Amino acid sequence: MSTRVRVDFNSVTKDGQVKATVRRADGPLAEGDAVIAYDPAEHSSHPAVVASINPDTERVLLAVDWEHAARDRSNKLSAKTAGICLGSSAKYTVRGSRVEPSRAVALKA
Task: Identify the CATH class of 3-64.
Answer: mainly beta
d(CA 103, CA 72): 29
Look at residue 92 and tell me whether its pLDDT is greater than 90. Answer: no
Q: What predicted TM-score, i.e. pTM, was given to this entire model?
A: 0.63
What pLDDT does 2 receive?
84
CATH 2.40.240 residue window(s) in the chain? 3-64
Residue 73 near residue 43 (C-beta atoms within 8 A): no
How long is the chain?
A: 109
Query: 36 — phi, psi (to 5°)?
Result: -110, 120
* Contact in structure between 11 and 19 (CB atoms under 8 Å): yes
Q: 7 near 22, Cβ under 8 Å?
A: no
Task: Check: CB of residue 51 under 8 Å from CB of residue 37.
Answer: no
22-66 pLDDT, tens digit per residue, is: 999 999 999 999 999 999 998 889 999 999 999 999 999 999 987
